[in-house]
Chain A
Amino acid sequence: MSTALNDYTASYSALALPGQDLPWLQQLRADAYTQFASDGFPSPREEEWRYTNVSALEKKAFTPLLAAARAVDADFIKSYQLADAYSLVLVDGYFSAELSLLADLPDTVQILSMADALQTCPEQVAVYFGKAVTSNEHGFIAFNNAWFTDGVFVHIPALCVLDKPIQCLHIVTQDGGLATTRNLLVLAENAAAQWLETFVGADVGYLSAAVTEAFVGQNSELTVYKVQCESAKAYHFGGLYIQQARDARCTHHNFAFGGLLARSDIHTDLDQAAECELNGLYLGVKRQHLDNHTRINHLKPYGISRETYKGVLDGRARGVFQGRVIVAEDAQLTDSQMNNRNLLLSADAEADTKPQLEIYADDVKCGHGVTVGQLEEKSVFYLQSRGVDEETARNMLTFAFANEMVDKVNLPLLKTLLVQLVLQHFPQNSYVD
């Protein structure tokens, strides 16, 4: 065992983790623990982590937080909580019934904490748990498997079209704290739902390590919004692993604004004629490091994938985009397009972009494009020639570049919040539409 990991492993046995009485989960946790204790967090030697070094997490250990009633600033939560949504709140890694708002939830829809689900419907959880991602993926998954304290379990039955989005709001309150959560999201056939995950925290250093597995049933439709607004000192790992059944549609909007170091994994496996659209916007300032890793796995014929990621990087910020598209031998007539565009606002900002197409089928349409650049001077001049001063022109163009991704959001209240967050991120912006 690496001594640097002692700080994590030493406190492990003291944690009252849910599902202790379930042999399958105990085995899964034990295997994951052994793997993590030996290998630790991912290393830049791993190809899919080559641009992101998380060794700081081993040098400065974060302490798993125990379930406790903690005062949470209600106004702070409200500023991120979407009105008109089913709202789930996870505080320091534990579901908070009192902060969550589940009134009017249709009887057929199950939304409960992961700890409750492991008590009341463990067979249901067992069908899905660990089926979209395993510890073999990388150290954060092993860590999450072993350490997760709570999370939510959502089941949308067949033919149910949920009227309101479900928001899962993660909040970490303690300096040096560690919040490890695990969600399971299941849509049966011909269902539709919108899932919004928001990550926030107090203005302290902490580690949020969240994993969500999502199963989108045949001909179902899932729209996911991820809004990552962790504190400027926080470390964030958030992984979403999706299984799309035949004809299932999934759209993901990934907004990475916060954190000192933040990594998102969005991986999806597509069955026949499944479609996915992955959109992302990462805005980095100061010394932020924002890594977005996507994997689209076309397993069967007729799949469609569209991916657009944009980054705006200022100061000494570093943005990483790794987009992997795999087209299996069986996945003929796949149609896939990937695009990553980066705007560097300072000489010290950096963008690392790595599109990867792995095509094993012979009759497919796949394309990708990548750009890294500055604002176009001819655009700045064009606006100036119409009377707009240079600074406003630059802000207008920067905002317009980012806002293209916000514009794809279909929830008006969320869109308003995102516009505010984009403007806050570049405080010199005076431009508001």
Chain B
Amino acid sequence: MLSIKDLTVNVNDKKILKGINLEVKAGKIHAIMGPNGSGKSTLSHILSGKSGYEVTGGSVTYQGKDLLEMPPEIRAREGVFLAFQYPVEIPGVSNVYLLKAALNAVRKHNGLDEVDAMDFLTLVKAKVKALEMDEKFLYRAVNEGFSGGEKKRNEILQMAMLEPKLCILDETDSGLDIDALKIVADGVNSLRSPDRSFIMVTHYQRLLDYIKPDFVHVLAHGQIIKSGGPELALELEEKGYGWLEEAAA
């Protein structure tokens, strides 16, 4: 599904990622953990195509194609989805409008007809219900005046509508209370499938109590310094990151 090789990235001439290697197979969940400032968000931004980053070396191959060559909207249409750490408020554009525009853009790219208005509403209302959201959210401007938890749920709603192949969750758990976290985790778990992969970027182990990863990687100072199974998360919970950073140094 995704293959990252020796990826190095600069921001304003400062080296942020210093040679990342990661293989993500279809159907697998990878958790990327690490202290603040380790480069976690840079990695999710690079994968989704945000500007302001300079790739100085390495490659990212997604389903056999060079991901870094694609503009952000093509990545989205090809099935890469980033759930933002800080979802953006878009006054004047309603949630339902964006969902429909996004869904149709993805469908068109994949040679499908635009979705019929009635079918669309039936679909979106079912997803809204599953995420325990109020239908009124559909008709409000995107994220405008939403609480932190509502914004994160809205990200999962968009993800559920677009049915991406590679979901990148950028600190989706930060700022969520335990009830909201459970709803978001249920949403993610319901999307698990043999042909859909997840990269969950987080610095709290808590999320992994609700979404069981297949692999855990520790990112520090721009490099993956340790990879392991779900047991690594438990070890991190117990010991923190310090011992790994020392070992790597």
Contact = CB atoms under 8 A, between A and B. Distances in A.
A430 B82 CA distance: 26
A26 interface: no
Contact of B73 (A376, A378, A387, A400): A387
A381 interface: yes
Given A381-B51, A382-B88, A383-B98, A397 B72 contact: no
Contacts of A384: 49, 71-73, 76
Nearest to A404: B92
A404 B91 CA distance: 8
- Bin chain B's interface residue count: 20 to 34
Interface stretch (A227-235, A247-255, A355-363, A388-396): A388-396
B25 to A, nearest CB: 24
Interface residues of A, number: 25
B105 A388 contact: yes
Contact of B76 (A387, A397, A400, A404): A387
Nearest to B79: A387
B93 interface: yes
A265 B111 CA distance: 53
21 contacts: A379-B90, A381-B50, A384-B49, A384-B72, A384-B73, A384-B76, A385-B48, A385-B73, A386-B76, A388-B98, A388-B105, A389-B73, A390-B71, A393-B73, A396-B93, A397-B90, A397-B93, A400-B92, A401-B92, A407-B92, A433-B97
Contacts of A396: 93, 101
Contacts of A385: 48-50, 72-73, 75-76, 81-82, 84
A190 interface: no
B30 interface: no
Contacts of B81: 385
A213 to B, nearest CB: 35
A403 interface: yes
B69 to A, nearest CB: 15
Interface string A389-418: 110110011011101100100000000000
Nearest to A405: B92
A400 B93 CA distance: 6
A397 B88 CA distance: 12
Given A377-B51, A381-B50, A387 B90 contact: no
Contacts of A379: 88, 90
Contacts of B90: 379, 382-383, 397, 400
Contact of B162 (A377, A387, A393): A387
B106 interface: yes
Given A386-B101, A389-B71, A397-B93, 4 more contacts: A385-B75, A387-B73, A387-B106, A388-B98
A389 B70 CA distance: 12
A381 B93 contact: no
A385 B44 CA distance: 12
A377 B88 CA distance: 10
A392 B100 CA distance: 14
Contact of A386 (B51, B71, B91, B162): B162
Given A387-B105, A389-B105, A381 B92 contact: no
B203 interface: no
B7 to A, nearest CB: 19
Interface of A: 376-379, 381-390, 392-393, 396-397, 399-401, 403-404, 407, 433
Nearest to B161: A386
Contacts of B162: 386-387
A378 B45 CA distance: 12
A385 B88 CA distance: 11
A165 to B, nearest CB: 25
A389 B104 CA distance: 12
A312 to B, nearest CB: 12
B202 interface: no
B77 interface: yes
B109 interface: yes
B197 interface: no
Nearest to B141: A400
B102 interface: yes
A407 B91 CA distance: 12
Nearest to A407: B92
A386 B50 contact: no
A266 to B, nearest CB: 24
Contacts of B141: 400
The 10 closest A-B pairs by CB, nearest first: A400-B92, A387-B105, A387-B76, A386-B102, A384-B72, A382-B88, A384-B73, A400-B93, A387-B102, A387-B106
A377 B102 CA distance: 18
B87 interface: yes
Given A387-B77, A389-B73, A390-B73, A382 B87 contact: yes
Interface in B92-129: 92-93, 97-98, 101-102, 105-106, 109
B42 interface: no
B92 A387 contact: no
Nearest to B104: A387
A419 to B, nearest CB: 12
Contacts of A403: 92
Contacts of A382: 84, 87-88, 90
B207 to A, nearest CB: 21
Nearest to B52: A377
Contacts of B84: 382, 385
Contacts of B77: 387
B158 interface: yes
Given A397-B93, A400-B90, A403-B92, A388 B49 contact: no
A368 to B, nearest CB: 19
A265 to B, nearest CB: 28
Contacts of B102: 386-388
Contacts of B91: 400-401, 404
B149 to A, nearest CB: 19
Contacts of A387: 73, 76-77, 101-102, 105-106, 109, 162
A350 to B, nearest CB: 24
B45 to A, nearest CB: 9
A426 B55 CA distance: 36
A383 B81 CA distance: 12
